[in-house]
Amino acid sequence: MKRPPAIDPTTHALFLDFDGTLVELVDDPNEVALAADRIERLAEMTDRLSGALAVVSGRRIADLDRFLAPLAFAAAGVHGLERRRRPEGEIEFLMQPEALDPVRDAVAPTLEANQRLRLEDKGTALVLHYRTAPDLAEAAKSVMRQAVAGRDDLVVMEGDNIVEVHPAGMDKGKALADFMAAAPFVGRIPVYLGDDTTDEFALKIVTDMRGIAIKVGGKESVAEYRLADVADVHHWLDVCGI
């Protein structure tokens, strides 16, 4: 495992996935927690980076704010469908929830018949969780694929024990590239940490930009560097030079 190098707060920009990177994966996504000293450390790093720290997540920004309070930070939520470009900026929404109403209707019978599945409605994306029902993985994937059949404006994306539907043309890599085009990120070298399949889009963009792409965990990745797990991420953040 090739460990990432130190980074420079004057020349780098830091992008962090949330679940599986900053916090452990849990059965109930609402039960995650980050210790107060870890949030204080993120605040310190944000200041040292002059605001060029962003959390890039499949979660809604409102949920990230709740888990990371009182931290002020830039963020891309729902894989970039929500964006806050500066720590104190406004949230931009790239689509409206009504576009997913037909998908909600299509998956409802499956949810009724398989109550161990859980649908997380993010408004601009729908996530079907099967972590506590791994035997229903194929059923979850099948119903989501069928729900978007014939719609070019929506895509199905699989992640860690989830299958998600969201608008086409958006992923964490595109969100990161957009952030890198404007202050406070423009002109800096991107550093990205992420553990899931959905993070590979961003890790590829960072690699193309000759930044520092860091995979968390042992899954196959385009990233050059590795950290073992969430605990290792926090250790590295403490010694990375920021």
Distance from C-alpha of 140 to C-alpha of 164, rounded to nearest angstrom = 10
From the candidates 8, 17, 37, 178, give the one annotated as an active-site residue: 17
Any idea which residue has 């599945």 for tokens? 117
Provide the edge-to-edge strand list for the sheet that holds 118-121: 118-121, 126-129, 162-167, 154-159
User: How far is the CA of 176 from the CAs of 17, 32, 56, 157, 186, in angstroms?
Assistant: 11, 24, 8, 18, 11
Q: Based on the residue annotation, tell me whether 17 is a catalytic residue of this protein.
A: yes
Token pair in block for residue 185: 């990120």
Q: So which residues are the catalytic ones?
A: 17
